Structure 1
Amino acid sequence: MIKKNIPNFITAANLVSGCIGIYFALQSNFVFAAYFVALAAVFDFLDGMMARLLKVHSEIGKQLDSLADMVTFGVLPSFIVFQYLQNNEAGWLSFLAFFMAVCSAFRLAKFNIDTRQGDQFLGLPTPANALFICFLVFLREYSELAFIFTNEGLLVITFLFSVLLVVELPMIALKFKSLKWEENVFRYLIIVFSLIIIGVFQFSGVPIVILLYIFMSAIQYFSIRRN
């Protein structure tokens, strides 16, 4: 019984991390909110890995995972943007941030029933979206990127990334069926460049890595279509 629920306990840790992240977001402590979304992403990876290792897949685990992801990777980034806008005295425009939560819900619901998303994702995965939004805080030290944190910049980002969540653009899934270069060239490139970016820019590099992931996924998609 305990063995069967180990992945669920890890999923619950993902959910708790998301709840704590929301608390810090509402306190305008965006750095700690980013830390907790990163911790939640680790738990989100581990619960699936443990389920595969222990061979304890269950329907309740699948549903619990989606519910936890909705809070952590859907509601939390929406509250991050909401609080940014509130701090900028955006008024009622602040509530447009929750468009991202709605799109995240559609993204997660569709993933649960879409059999096409085994080897690839259709739309930006919610963890990638949340990591991008939450780690924007580390770009505030760069004055040349100040436009990102204006009301206009935040609303444009909210709209674009919300659309990316639900549009059926094939996105690379970092799942290796083999280690052959020709079958995984884009996966290897993403991993190598991501390590370099994080090594150079540390936490500030996380949004850049997500943009790289989107860019490489688009290149792979259009290269396949051309062939």
Structure 2
Amino acid sequence: MKHIPNSITLINVFAGCCASICLFADADIWAIGFIMLAGMADFGDGLAARLLGVSSPVGKELDSLADMISFGFVPGLIAYKLLDQASGQTGDPINWIAIPGFAITIFSAVRLARFNLDERQTQDFIGLNTPTCTAFFAGLLALGTRNIFGISGMLDQVWVLYLLIGLFSWLMNTDFPMFSFKFKQLSWKGNEIRYIFMVTTIVFFILLKEAAFSALVIVYILLAIAHNMFAKSNKQA
């Protein structure tokens, strides 16, 4: 029983590897599916550990290493691919215009290292977590495929992608508090922000399908800002 959480973590590793292969093969929708599987495994290993009452230093390290693949390397690869497509350069083994996409991978590594040492992030997050950052870039991939609202034209602009890469690299390592999706109890009070986001998630996926990821991440960031402002005003009152 004690090995169940680690086994689920290894599904995260496997899904991240498969997502990478799909990105190389231009099977973007399959890549998004494997990213979703990695996200479910990332949530499931922690849930299983809590339900079974087991934990180990190996499990913690394994979880971080799995996240580095699925939510560090994979989003960097997506950013590289988007920049590669936007630049229009082909034929070279490395597109140097697209290389800055791996800033996401570099700052994800910094984020994960800080998270492992930060004792404040037991209930909520400090800075944007790596799975949410990955969801945003996976959503950009889907938006380019589906061309919803004509957004794919914006993704053809290298400077727009550079701006997004810089912004999300910063968001992952900022000290700004962001709510997690962990429920201490199921009542409305104390979980208002989580229930609002859950309802928004359902609506967005019905309307936008896999392209909902990027929009939901923006909503999540805005809700986190509103939540912090409301919490500060309550403290001052």
Question: How does the TM-score come out when normalised to structure 2?
Answer: 0.90
**Displacement of 1:181 after TM fit?**
2.3
Q: Which has the higher helix share?
A: 1
Which residue of 1 is the match for residue 98 of structure 2?
Answer: 94
Which residue of 1 is the match for residue 111 of structure 2?
Answer: 107
Contact 1:120 1:172 in 2 (8 A): yes
Q: Secondary structure at the match of 1:65?
A: helix
**Displacement of 1:143 after TM fit?**
5.4
Which residue of 2 is the match for residue 14 of structure 1?
Answer: 12
Q: Work out the CA distance in 1 between the residues paired with 2:33 and 2:156.
A: 19
Q: Which runs of 5+ in 1 are unaligned?
A: none
**Displacement of 1:155 after TM fit?**
1.3
Which residue of 1 is the match for residue 53 of structure 2?
Answer: 55
Shift in alpha-carbon separation, 1:31–1:150, aligned structure 2, 3 A: farther
- One-letter code aligned to 2:142: F
**Displacement of 1:137 after TM fit?**
2.1
Q: Work out the CA distance in 2 between the residues paired with 1:142 and 1:181.
A: 34
**Displacement of 1:112 after TM fit?**
1.1
Which residue of 2 is the match for residue 188 of structure 1?
Answer: 195
Which residue of 1 is the match for residue 214 of structure 2?
Answer: 207
Contact 1:30 1:80 in 2 (8 A): no
Matched, 1:132 2:131: no
**Number of aligned pairs?**
225
Which residue of 1 is the match for residue 123 of structure 2?
Answer: 119
Alignment match of 1:69 (pick from 67, 70, 83): 67
Contact 1:18 1:71 in 2 (8 A): yes
Matched, 1:197 2:204: yes
Q: Which runs of 5+ in 2 are unaligned?
A: 90-94
Which residue of 2 is the match for residue 223 of structure 1?
Answer: 230
Q: Work out the CA distance in 2 between the residues paired with 1:104 and 1:169.
A: 16
Q: Work out the CA distance in 1 between the residues paired with 2:4 and 2:184.
A: 25
Q: Work out the CA distance in 2 between the residues paired with 1:26 and 1:154.
A: 19
**Displacement of 1:59 after TM fit?**
0.6
Which residue of 1 is the match for residue 150 of structure 2?
Answer: 144
Question: How does the TM-score come out when normalised to structure 1?
Answer: 0.94
CA shift digits 1:69-109 (9 cap, x unpaired): 01100110101111222233364121111111111111111
- One-letter code aligned to 2:194: R
- One-letter code aligned to 1:156: L
Q: Secondary structure at the match of 1:4?
A: coil
Q: Work out the CA distance in 1 between the residues paired with 2:129 and 2:198.
A: 17
What percent of counterpart residues are identical? 34
CA shift digits 1:192-226 (9 cap, x unpaired): 11111112221121211111111101111122223
Matched, 1:40 2:38: yes
Matched, 1:158 2:165: yes
Contact 1:11 1:43 in 2 (8 A): yes
